[in-house]
Structure 1
Amino acid sequence: MFPQNELLPLSLLKMRAKAGKAEFCSIYNEEGKWVGFFYTVYNRHIAYIFFLAIDPHYHGQGLGSATLTAIKERYAGKQITLSAERPDPQAPNNEQRIRRHRFYAQNGFGKTGLYTVEKDNEKFDLLSIQSSVNPQFYQQLMDNYLTKHRCHYLPYKIIKE
């Protein structure tokens, strides 16, 4: 579902959620079947959607859009952001990247003029429902969330276009 270089250890995700720095939330369809989850990291300024995953068998049924609507309601008053792999004609999954950007745009997430360069020189656009994101808020959120683990699991730099 997620590329190996984008994954964090489950133990770290659980530990940070138990510490009140993140939330795991399950997604169920109308029949009550578990179909996915989202994982958010937040502080008083910003809520960052770290992972949003819906079982591919349930794509195209509006569950992703409904989940994003619920996230917007849950974190109202915060800058709601996420990262998406930047489209790249040389990338083997470029069509998937384009579809993701289109999906997020249809759900009110636009480019902020910021992107991150992460492991393997991979670029991720920082998207938000607000027109801009304070890069210091994002940096503080990630530093506080990952603490000493950031350099190992999520080395990145923020770049303004």
Structure 2
Amino acid sequence: MNLRLSLSDPTTADFEKVYALYQQAFPVDELYPKELLFSHFNEASNEFWSIYDDQKWVGLVYCMTEKDLTYVGFLAIAPELRGEGYGSATLALVKEKYANNRVCLLIEEVSDKYADYEARKKRFSFYQKNGFQSAGFKIAEYDVHYDFLVATGQSLTSAEYLSLINHYCGPEYAKVVNSHVVD
């Protein structure tokens, strides 16, 4: 495996498949509005990466950075390539690329009150195996509850994350996303 990240935006040849995977891999109620997502392509602090294994396109990762905090907003591997180690390798690559930053992400809340509890436990285990731990708080966005994870050995406060996401969303979309701490 020889992974690399390549910036992607609506002008790059691979963007159609990147955006299609983004729409397919995540529930509709977790996707950012297209206008919000597309408004950040020219900002160095928001990077939509295509993931390649040599010349083979394998997926996407979208990162948002504020100061020394990098939030992995979206990570998806092409369905036919899942289970081959690309997700783990991509997380290692992201942590290496943003080595001077605290790297964090959200996963759907792990609780037995959800019908897909076993899948959520498996997802949490995947991230633990790849060097992430609970940050000690939960976040809700679009009324979806998430567990907040940070790279092992790192920490952050909910206020730092809320600053990052509200800055990213701007006043108009911050009301729509409605990111807030939950119990």
Establish whether TM, by shorter chain, passes 0.5.
Answer: yes
Distance 1:146 1:90 in 2: 30
Residue 77, structure 1, aligned to residue 100, structure 2: yes
SS of residue paired to 2:120: helix
* C-alpha deviation, 1:56, in angstroms: 2.0
2:37 paired residue number: 13
Q: Which moved more, 1:81-90 or 1:8-17?
A: 8-17
Residue 68, structure 1, aligned to residue 94, structure 2: no
CA contact (8 A) 2:135 2:149 kept: yes
Distance 1:46 1:77 in 2: 9
**Paired amino acid for 1:23:** E
1:128 paired residue number: 150
Q: Which moved more, 1:93-102 or 1:76-85?
A: 93-102
Q: Which moved more, 1:71-80 or 1:89-98?
A: 89-98
CA contact (8 A) 2:72 2:105 kept: yes
CA contact (8 A) 1:116 1:126 kept: yes
Of 134, 137, 141, which residue of structure 1 is paired with 2:164? 141
Residue 113, structure 1, aligned to residue 163, structure 2: no
* C-alpha deviation, 1:82, in angstroms: 0.0
Provide the TM-score with structure 1 as the length reference: 0.89
* C-alpha deviation, 1:110, in angstroms: 0.4
* C-alpha deviation, 1:150, in angstroms: 1.2
CA RMSD of aligned residues (A): 1.6
Unaligned runs of 5+ in 2: 1-24
Of 95, 99, 102, which residue of structure 1 is paired with 2:122? 99
Paired-residue identity, %: 34
1:44 paired residue number: 67
**Paired amino acid for 2:132:** F
Alignment size in residue pairs: 157
Provide the TM-score with structure 2 as the length reference: 0.79
Q: 1:13 to 1:6 in 2, by over 3 A?
A: same
SS of residue paired to 1:90: coil
* C-alpha deviation, 1:2, in angstroms: 0.6
Structure 1: which 4+ aligned runs deviate by more than 4 Å?
none
1:24 paired residue number: 48
